[in-house]
Amino acid sequence: MNFEFFIAKRIISSKAYKSSVSAPIIKIGIAAIAIGIIVMMIAVATGIGLQQKIRDKVSAFNGHIIISNFGTNNSQESDKPISTKQDFYPVFKNVDGIKNVQAVASKFGIIRTETDFEAIIVKGVGADYNWDYFKEFLIEGRLPDYSKERNQDVLISQSLAKRMQFQLGDKFSTFFKKQDPNALPTQIRYSIVGIYNSGLKEFDETYVLGDIRHIQRLNKWQPDQVGSFEVLLDDYNQLQEKYVAVFQNTPSLLNAVTVEQKHASIFEWIGIFDKNTYGIIGIMILVAGINMITALLVLILERTKMIGIFKALGSNNWSIRKMFLYNASYIILIGLFWGNLIGLLLLFAQKYGKFFPLDPSVYHVSEVPVYISLGYILALNIGTFLLCLLMLLIPSYIITKISPVKAIRFE
């Protein structure tokens, strides 16, 4: 067995160690490590969770990559049709990792009731539309089915339904402006078959999902003409890489943008979470390291006689330093154990219990989302352990300054 490790183990297991002057300091050091790892785990889990949740919600309304005519990317209404006779539709054969390519079209409309009216955007979708995101958002009713004949079924948001006093199964009239400014608007009477709540206020208050064939008829388009194409990826983390490939395989008359480019302000906002997380991690490691330095200095002071005896018996400075570093490693590992245990309990409690709500108007989610992954948990633990241990190398240098004669006489 390693000599230094053996001595450190004997020190840790001794009763004097647990009832010594340094015992309270050691407990504070363990608590500092535990609290630090808990705060870091929560910061990373909630930061990544919030980013992913908001990212997925924005992608639900736009797709990951949007292919459209030049000059229409910032417009909410489809005014220039695109033919569906494209090499990339309905399957993007030239690029791997594409989950779905769906044709959509949008048009401004006004809901009119006997007592109120509301401006909306009707997003027309078809049989190729992927409803995976909206399955999660659906709170009442069912998703529309546009795979058969054209119908008036729509999916509206909970906030819009409350504002207009609509309920599931209600019918409402929506008026659409014609291209001729002197012509009367066209009226379509929609039927509510489902109500959703994504938590994204700016989208929920605006978007109604309906049959794309109504938009085509209103715009006097052919059945093979749509407003744009939404490309969904298998892995969002490959967005930039796949965007370049999609752009290169898109006809020169069409443009492609990512959802991050289209909604830059939202993604810039959630990007700030990374800086906050890094700041919290840095502060927590610094606080834990300072507490461990204090604990190590107290341990060295308490074991001054032992240091003098080992030096008198021929042990070198590095050998004695290793004994205390092994001792400090044990304290760090104990702190990490309790920190991980408590941290994971809190994260799983929030993940499945949803105890901590958020204001959807500010954070775009109704509760604190958490992302739990073995990868970042291991990275936090290994990083905390190594950085704290490196910080202890400097205070352990004080051992080299201890004189054997004075240390043995030390009271």
Distance, CA of 256 to CA of 70 (rounded, Å): 9
Residue 1 — very low, low, confident or very high, per pLDDT cuts 50/70/90?
low
Say whether pLDDT at 36 is over 70: yes
**Tell me: the pLDDT tens digits for 151-191?**
999 999 999 999 999 999 999 999 998 777 777 889 999 99
Say whether pLDDT at 389 is over 60: yes
Distance, CA of 314 to CA of 359 (rounded, Å): 66
Q: What is the pLDDT of residue 103?
A: 95
**Tell me: the pLDDT tens digits for 229-240?**
999 999 999 999
Q: Where are the domains of the chain?
A: 3-56+267-409, 71-252
As a whole-number percent, the residues of the chain with pLDDT over 70 amount to 93
**Tell me: the pLDDT tens digits for 298-326?**
777 777 777 777 777 777 778 878 888 88
Spell out where 7-143 has E strands.
65-69, 82-83, 98-112, 117-125, 138-141
Distance, CA of 161 to CA of 228 (rounded, Å): 27
Residue 15 — very low, low, confident or very high, per pLDDT cuts 50/70/90?
low
Say whether pLDDT at 34 is over 80: yes
**Tell me: the pLDDT tens digits for 336-376?**
999 999 999 999 999 888 888 877 777 777 788 899 999 99
Residue 411 — very low, low, confident or very high, per pLDDT cuts 50/70/90?
low
Pairing between strand 171-176 and 138-141? Answer: unpaired
H runs (alpha helix) in 14-139: 15-18, 23-62, 132-137
